[in-house]
Structure 1
Amino acid sequence: MLQPLRLALVLALTLASGAAAQAQPAMGARVERQRSVTITSTPAEPLPVIHVAAGAPTLLLFSAPIQRKTLTFDESRIRVLDAGERSVIVQPVVDLREGERQEMGVFFADGRAPARAAFVLVTVPAEVDSRIDVRRSEPPSPACPSTAQTLTPRPEDFVLLGFVKEAGVTTSIRKDMGDSAQGLELQPTVSFRGAGWILADVKFMNSPDHPAWTPQEATFAGRLGAPRRARFIMEKQGPILPGERGRVLAVMEIPETETDLVFTLEVRGDGGRRLTIQDVRFPKLASEDAR
C-alpha cells in the first residue's frame, strides 16, 4: 500500500503531465496567427494572401470604413459570418482544396485611392489567420513632388512670367567659322532678345583631331564695362567627344533699352580651350510706332 506522501506525489505528477499535454497543440493542428497586410494600389501588384480554415473564423479589421453591400465572394465556398463598419468575419464552408484560390473584395466608403480592398483566400495545413489588420498604401506627399512630376514649360508661361511682352522677341543670326587653332568649328549662332533678357544659341563641332572638350561657363562682354557671366545651359551633359556636335545656351538678364546690343560671347571649357564669337547682335525690340 502506498504511503500518503508518495500517493500525493504520484497524483501531482499525473495531473501536471496531463495539464502539459493539454497545453501542447495536437499533432497536425494549425497555428493561429495575427498579422497586418497592405492592400495593392495598382493592378500589377499581387493580392494579399489570407489563410482560412473551416474550423476557425478569420477577422479582417480595416483602417477605414467599408461599404458592406459591395462585398464580393463565392457564397458556395465562403461564408461571411458578420460585416461591420470596419470589419468582416469570414470562414470557408469547408477547407479549400489544395491549389484553390478564392478572391474576396470590398470597396471603401470614402472613395480614396486605393478604393477597393481585395484578397486571395487559401487553406494551408500549417496555419490559419485569426486576425488581419488591413492597411491602405499612402499616396506620395504633395509637399515632395518627384522630378518626374515637374511641369514642362508652356508657351503661355513665358507671357505670364513677363519674359515676352507686346513687343515680342527679336532674333539675329551670326555666321562664323570658329577657331581652327582651338579645334572648334562654329555653326551659325542665333541670338534672341526679349523683355529684359538675351539668349545666344551656340552650335559647334569638336574637330576629330582634338581631344574631348567640356564647356564650363560663358560670358558676355560689351564695348564698355567688364565681362558678365551668363547663365549656362548644355543640351547634352558631359564632354563633347572628337568629331561630335555640341550645343550650349547662354542667357543673361539686361535692362530694357531701345537700342541694339552687341556683345562678344566667350564659351570657356576644360584644357584652356575656348570658343570666342564676336559681334553677337541683339536687335532692339519693336516699338509702338513700328507696330
Structure 2
Amino acid sequence: MSLSTSIIPLVLAVLVGTTAVAQSRTPVGRERKARQLTLRAEEPPVLHPLHVAAHEVTTVTFDAPIVPESVDRSVLTPFFSRVAVHEDVLVLKASMDIPAGKEPVLTVRFAGSGAPARVAFVLTTVTAEVDSQVEVLRQGRTAQDLGKELADLRARCVATEAGLATLRAQCALRGLGGAVLMGDVTREGVEVTYLPDPSLSPGMTAKRPHVLYRTESTRALSISLFNAAGSTPWIPGFARMTPRGPSALPAREFPLLIQVKQLAPGEQATVVVEWHALPDLPAGTNVTLELLDVKGERGVRWEEVAP
C-alpha cells in the first residue's frame, strides 16, 4: 500500500469528525415567544417552565412589586452571564443552553401581603422556542376589569385619533413654508423656553435640555428620553395634559412624535409633543404634563407647566 493510499482514510476521518463538531456547535434557530402567566391564589403552587437559551435575553415583568433579594443568584451563576433584578422586572441572559437534568429552580417572592406570596420557575432549554418576554400577572383580571380597560383604551384611541387627524392635515404642508401657511408660525416669531427637570420619571430619564417652543397658536415640547439598561423596551404612547387648580377641566391627550418604534434598553431618542393653545383655560392655569408609554405607566411628568 502506498503512503498516499494509506493517508486518504485518515484524512477522510478527520474531515468527517471536523464536520460533526462544526454541526454540533451550530446554534439551533428558535422562535422568540412573548406570553402571559396568570397566578391564582386558589391554585396550589407549581413550577412554571421558563424557556431560556444561550445568548438570548429573557425578560420577566411582574404586575406587583417583588423582593429582589429573594432571587438566589448562586443557582443562576453557572448558566447566566447576566442577571438583573429590579422592583418589578427580572432580566436574564443565558451563557449556555441548560443541560438536561441540571435545570435550576428560581423562586421570586412578592413584596407585601397578598396571595400567592411567591412564584417559582424551572429554567429549561427546548429546541423549538425561547421565552423573550413573559408577563406575570399575580391576580387574573375579571371580565369587569377587562371591560373597564377596553373602555379606557377606546376613549384613548378617540382622543389620539383626533390629534392624528390634525397631524395628517399638516403632513402635506411640511417645512417652514407649511408652518407659515397653516398659521403655526406668524410674524410674532417663535419663543423658546426651557422646562426644569421632571418632577417624576418612572422608569425613564429625560436628558437636558427640555425645550418648549411657543408660537401664537402652537406649542411643541422637545425632550431626549433615555431607557435605562436592564429595563423593558419603551413603546411610545401619548402625552396627557391635566389642568391644575379648581377649573375641573378634563385632561387632554396628544400623540407623541418619535422617529423609532420603540426604545430598547440603553437607547435614547428625541420625543416631541405638539398641541395648540388652549383658549378655554382660565388665565394663569398651569397643567400637569406627562409623556407616557402605551400602557400609561412609564415616562416623565412635569407638575407645573404654563400651556
State the TM-score, normalizing by the size of structure 2: 0.37
Query: Which structure dedicates a bigger proportion of its chain to helix?
Result: 2
State the TM-score, normalizing by the size of structure 1: 0.39
When Rg is computed on C-alpha atoms for both structures, the one with the higher figure is 1
